[in-house]
Amino acid sequence: MDNKVKDISSKSLSQIAWHRLKKNKLSLFGLSIIFLAILVAFLGPIVRPDGTPQSNDQILEITTKKPGFSVDILKVKKNQKQKEIGVFEYISVGVDNDFTTVPIYDYSFEGYNLIIEKYTGANINNGQILKYNLADIVYALDHNEVTESEGYLDFYTIDGGKQHIAITDLVATIKEDCIVSRKYILGTDKYGRDLLSRLMAGTWISLFVGFISVFISLVIGITLGALSGYFRGWLDDLVMWFINVVWSIPTLLLVIAITMALGKGTWQVFIAVGLTMWVEVARVVRGQMLSLREKEFVEAGKALGFTNVRIIFKHIIPNVLGPVIVISAINFAAAILIEAGLSFLGIGAQPPQATWGKIIAEHKGYIITGKAYLAILPGIAIILMVLAFVLVGNGIRDALDSKAVDDMPSV
């Protein structure tokens, strides 16, 4: 028992809370989902099968294909210079392909041309027959003039100048690098885009709407709640009147009104959601402030000549962060749901930005068909993300509970 008392006394309150949280398996499950989502969001195009901006590579011939679908793709080099972008832009946005993608059913080489039958997706393919110059497939040409001489092709590229390359080398390069088999693990959507990549790209919106809106709500809520509870009087009456007015308006309607005022778009949604979620934070901070302002350490600070701003933000606010963290976790989940609802209604992030709510809206008609998974999978993603933050919020609440006795020594 003495060893246990010594061990407990040597731990800070945050260490004790973390120790309690680690014992909560449901909270750890929620943390693992959140950590995975953060990795997917920040690594972005690096881990997505489709690394183009918003994973918007559309191949209309392969729309609404089922999970596990595979098709051969011909990659034809675009006759333009590749845009150079930085690492941050690549991770956060992605980069457009420097080639066009053509689904192929069959192909053959004839001289210095590639003959393909285009994939149509029908039971009997009967696709269009297309002819491509071998050099035009592999290189970005300065112009389309290509000449043949004794098994070699002569042409000019945008970056490398004049080229003299054997046809056999071009054929080998095309077989190895330009004709690839692409597998769609979760199938394709109604526009022929990789559904898995679209779901992964939607993670960015869901996480950032939570982070930005919670940050805005904390700044406004803590500031108004702290000033109201500390100074009381007419300021408290004014803030409480404002809180009650905002509280009386349905959240979704208020978000829609703010979004309409600010305009449709990603950042407008972030701001609109944040401006509606500060009320709960302000009420909790105000209640805690009314209690703590009468404590001895506040009187001591006043006696030492500390300013009210220092007493509020350096001495009192740190003591109310526990409940605020719990509310923030719940608000994070609520922000994800609100954003999904706005995107579903078409007033959230605009196409081609991938959002889970928008994916559901685009495929809601497939629910009564054999392809209901197109709308169900993004719904499952929303459920898992919201559940993760709710579980973590509940775990943090239990871990910060001063009445918990699981880690306290018996006397």
14 vs 239: which has the higher pLDDT: 239
pTM: 0.87
Q: Output the pLDDT for position 1.
A: 47
12 confidence band (pLDDT: 50, 70, 90) = low
Q: Output the pLDDT for position 262.
A: 84
Q: With a cut of 70, say whether residue 78 has pLDDT above it.
A: yes
Q: Output the pLDDT for position 108.
A: 95
Q: With a cut of 80, say whether residue 88 has pLDDT above it.
A: no
State mean pLDDT over 145-160: 86
Q: With a cut of 90, say whether residue 144 has pLDDT above it.
A: no
CATH 1.10.3720.10 positions along the chain are 2-38+196-399
Cis peptide preceding 352, ω within 30 of 0: yes
74 vs 90: which has the higher pLDDT: 74
Q: With a cut of 90, say whether residue 34 has pLDDT above it.
A: yes
Percent of the chain past pLDDT 70, that is, above it, reads: 94
Between 12-21, 91-100, 144-153, the lowest mean confidence (pLDDT) is in 12-21
State mean pLDDT over 274-291: 91
> Domain spanning 2-38+196-399 has what CATH number?
1.10.3720.10
Q: Output the pLDDT for position 8.
A: 47
State mean pLDDT over 335-361: 90
